[in-house]
Structure formats: C-alpha cells, structure tokens
C-alpha cells in the first residue's frame, strides 16, 4: 500500500517543487508518511500470525538497531548541516529526510511493540527516536 513507508503527499502538488517548498506534511519532499504503516514500511500485527508476532518484532528491533548505527555514522552533524543548507528540492536532502522520518517511525513503533520487555529498552528507544526527530528537524 506504500513505498517503504511513504506515499505521494496529498497536501501539496508533488509534481511542482515550488508549490511544495514549505509543506509541513511531507517536509517538502513530495512524499508523506503512509497512514497504513505509520511510516515504517512494515505490515501490522493483524497480518502477522499471533504466534510469530514476538519473533517478528524482535527481528525488527535487531535490524532497526543496525539501521540506527549506520544512520549515526552516515549523518554526522556536519553532514546534516550541509544537507540542511541545500535547496528543498535537492535530491540528497529529500532522501535524507525520508530516511530519517522512516527511522523515527520505526523507533516509535518498536517502543510500543511486544518486543520490548523492560523499561530500560523502552527508554532507549524513546531517547533514540527523540534524537532522530531532532535530526529530522535540522534537515527540514
């Protein structure tokens, strides 16, 4: 139903970069988070057999942790500042915004999932999500 967690933004004209220059729904990328998957790109629990939900969410937790590590290495403060200084229609900036939003959505979903069994894990995910959202704010 979506493309890795996003769909064309209905709030702005995705074909005209000038008209979407200040769109808050899609951060001027022309791609807004998907309502079906909440921007994660993942299917919901209603599609996953009940007996597989915990293993699926644990796998998602593991892969998202790897994505977070890669993200931290790729998007340093200098890189974020460079991308933020580019025009809103810059392809690399738009890709970074989409990647950042998707990662934040995944961290949010994981924080509410059945894979989280203790308070410390939940706090770690909440903290990581806040940091990723701060990166999104810089890019936007």
Question: How sure is the predictor about 27, in pLDDT bands with cuts at 50, 70 and 90?
Answer: confident
pLDDT in tens, 108-122: 999 999 888 899 999
Quote the CA–CA distance of 96 and 81 in Å, as a whole number: 12
Choice among 7-16, 53-62, 97-106 with the minimum mean pLDDT: 7-16
pTM of the predicted model as reported, rounded to 2 decimal places: 0.88
Predicted confidence at residue 58, as pLDDT, reads 95
Quote the CA–CA distance of 122 and 111 in Å, as a whole number: 5
Predicted confidence at residue 127, as pLDDT, reads 97
Predicted confidence at residue 53, as pLDDT, reads 94
Please give the average per-residue pLDDT across 13-36, as a whole number: 72
Residue of 34, 27, 53 lying closest to 106 (CA atoms): 34
Judge whether residue 18 has pLDDT over 60: no
Quote the CA–CA distance of 6 and 71 in Å, as a whole number: 19
DSSP secondary structure string, 61-114?
Answer: HHHHHHHHHHHHHHS-HHHHHHHHTS-TT-HHHHHHHHHHHHHHHHHHHHHTST
Question: How sure is the predictor about 12, in pLDDT bands with cuts at 50, 70 and 90?
Answer: confident
pLDDT in tens, 30-85: 888 888 899 999 998 889 999 999 999 999 999 999 999 999 999 999 999 999 99
Judge whether residue 88 has pLDDT over 70: yes
Question: How sure is the predictor about 16, in pLDDT bands with cuts at 50, 70 and 90?
Answer: low
């Amino acid at each position: 139903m979506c493309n890795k967690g996003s769909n064309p933004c209905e709030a702005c004209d995705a074909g005209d970069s000038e008209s979407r220059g200040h769109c808050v729904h899609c951060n001027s990328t022309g791609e807004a988070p998907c309502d079906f998957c909440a921007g994660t790109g993942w299917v919901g629990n209603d599609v996953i057999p009940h007996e597989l939900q915990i293993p699926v969410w644990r796998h998602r937790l593991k892969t998202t942790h790897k994505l977070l590590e890669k993200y931290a290495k790729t998007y340093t403060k200098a890189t974020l500042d460079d991308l933020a200084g580019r025009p809103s229609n810059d392809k690399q900036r738009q890709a970074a915004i989409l990647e950042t939003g998707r990662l934040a959505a995944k961290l949010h979903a994981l924080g509410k999932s059945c894979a989280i069994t203790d308070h410390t894990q939940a706090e770690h995910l909440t903290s990581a999500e806040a940091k990723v959202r701060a990166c999104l704010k810089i890019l936007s």
